[in-house]
A and B are shown apart, each in its own frame.
Chain A
Amino acid sequence: MSAAATQPRRSRVIDDKSLSLEHHRSLWQDAARRFRRNWLAVGGLFVVVVFLILAVIGPHIAPYDFLEQNIVNAFQGPSAAHFLGTDDLGRDVFSRMLHGARTAALVAFLSTTISLAIGILVGAWSGIHGGRMDELLMWISDLIQAMPGLLLVILINTTLRRPIINWFDTLYEQTKNPFYLNTLWLDYVLVFSALALIAWPGLARLVRGQVLSINEEDYVLAARALGGSQWHIMLRHVIPNALGPLVVAVTASMGGAVTMEAGLSFLGIGVQPPNASWGSILEEGRRYWQIFPHLILIPAVTIGVIQVAFVFLGDGLNDALDPRRNS
Chain B
Amino acid sequence: MASFLFIRLMRWSVGLLLILFVTYAMMFYGAGDPIRMMFIQGEDFDSEDEVVMLALRKKYGLDEPFLVQFSNYLNNLAQGDWGRSIRLQVDRPVLEIVQFRLPISMQLGFAATVIGAATGIALGIIASLYHNRWLDRLIVSTVLFINGIPTFVILPVLMLLLVLQLKVIDVPYGWNGLLHIDAVLPVTVISIGILPIVVRQTRSAMLEVKSQLYVRTARAKGMSESRIILRHMLRPVLTPVVTTLGLIMIGLINGSLFVEYILNIPGFGLLTIEGIKKVDYPIIMSVAVVGTLIIFVSNFLVDIVYPILDPRVRAQ
**A residues within 8 Å of B by Cβ?**
40, 139, 143, 146-151, 154-156, 158-163, 255, 259, 262-263, 266-269, 279, 282, 286, 289-290, 293, 296-297, 300-301, 303-304, 307-308, 310-312, 315
Contacts and interface: CB of A to CB of B under 8 A. Distances in A.
Contact of A158 (B18, B145, B276): B276
B18 A143 contact: yes
13 contacts: A139-B11, A146-B295, A147-B291, A148-B249, A148-B250, A154-B272, A155-B23, A155-B276, A155-B288, A162-B30, A267-B261, A268-B277, A304-B157
Contact of A148 (B30, B145, B284, B291): B291
B156 A307 contact: no
Name which of A143, A279, A297 has the most chain B CB atoms within 10 A of its CB: A143
B148 interface: yes
A262 B152 contact: yes
A303 B153 CA distance: 7
A282 B262 CA distance: 11
A202 B71 CA distance: 32
Interface in B144-161: 144-145, 147-150, 152-153, 156-157, 159-160
B26 A159 contact: yes
A310 B148 contact: yes
B183 interface: no
Nearest to B287: A151
A306 to B, nearest CB: 9
A262 B15 CA distance: 29
A147 B19 contact: yes
A137 to B, nearest CB: 14
A198 to B, nearest CB: 12
Interface string B22-40: 0100110111100000000
B295 A148 contact: yes
B176 interface: no
Given A143-B19, A147-B19, A300-B153, 10 more contacts: A146-B15, A147-B250, A155-B288, A269-B273, A269-B276, A282-B153, A286-B262, A301-B157, A311-B145, A311-B148
A100 to B, nearest CB: 14
Nearest to B18: A143
If over half of B's interface residues share one DSSP class (helix, strand or loop), that class is named, otherwise mixed; here it is helix
Contacts of B279: 158
Closest 3 A-B residue pairs measured CB to CB? A159-B30, A311-B148, A159-B26
Contacts of A279: 152
Nearest to A147: B295
Given A158-B279, A311-B145, A293 B160 contact: yes
A259 B31 contact: no
B253 A148 contact: yes
A269 B278 CA distance: 12
A215 to B, nearest CB: 26
B276 A307 contact: no
B148 A307 contact: yes
Interface string B129-152: 000000000000100110111101
Contacts of A263: 150, 152, 258
B195 interface: no
A308 B146 CA distance: 8
A162 B145 contact: no
Contacts of B152: 262-263, 266, 279, 282
Contacts of B19: 143, 147
Contacts of A148: 249-250, 253-254, 291, 295
Contacts of A154: 272-273, 276
B299 interface: yes
B272 A289 contact: no
B157 A297 contact: yes
A159 B31 contact: yes
A51 to B, nearest CB: 14
Contacts of A267: 257-258, 261, 273
Nearest to B28: A159
Contacts of A146: 15, 246, 295-296, 299
Nearest to B276: A158
Contacts of B30: 158-163
A151 B159 CA distance: 25
Interface in B52-90: none
Contacts of A160: 30
B119 interface: no
A150 B145 contact: no
A308 B157 CA distance: 15
B246 A158 contact: no
B101 to A, nearest CB: 15
A62 B288 CA distance: 43
Contact of B257 (A143, A150, A155): A150
B304 interface: no
A262 B141 CA distance: 24
Contacts of B145: 308, 311
Given A148-B291, A154-B276, A162-B31, A311 B147 contact: yes
B243 interface: no
B301 interface: no
